[in-house]
Amino acid sequence: MSKYALNSAEERYQPGSGDQALANKLGIADAEEMGALESGLLPLLTAFHFFLMVSRSSFSLVLMN
């Protein structure tokens, strides 16, 4: 059974992944490697998003004063 449950005409898996890794520009076919990459990037993206939101809020407050 595939890790991903997609219902799309554009559903594509990385060749050699055994339908375990979605097609990606990095060419990662190993499901464990993709999982580790996704797990490592999620906290970074969350922190970056939080930083952007705080920065925009601070900038808006400066403009309002």
Q: What is the per-residue pLDDT across 4-41, written as a single tens digit (0 to 9) for each? A: 666 776 678 899 999 888 899 999 999 999 999 989 99
What is the reported pLDDT for 16? 93
pTM confidence score:
0.56
Q: What is the 3-state secondary structure (H, E, C) of the chain?
A: CCCCCCCCCCCCECCCCCCCCECCCCCCCCHHHHHHHHHHHHHHHHHHHHHHHHHHHHHHHHHHC
What is the reported pLDDT for 17? 92
Residue 1 — pLDDT band, cuts 50, 70, 90? low
More confident residue, 65 or 8: 8
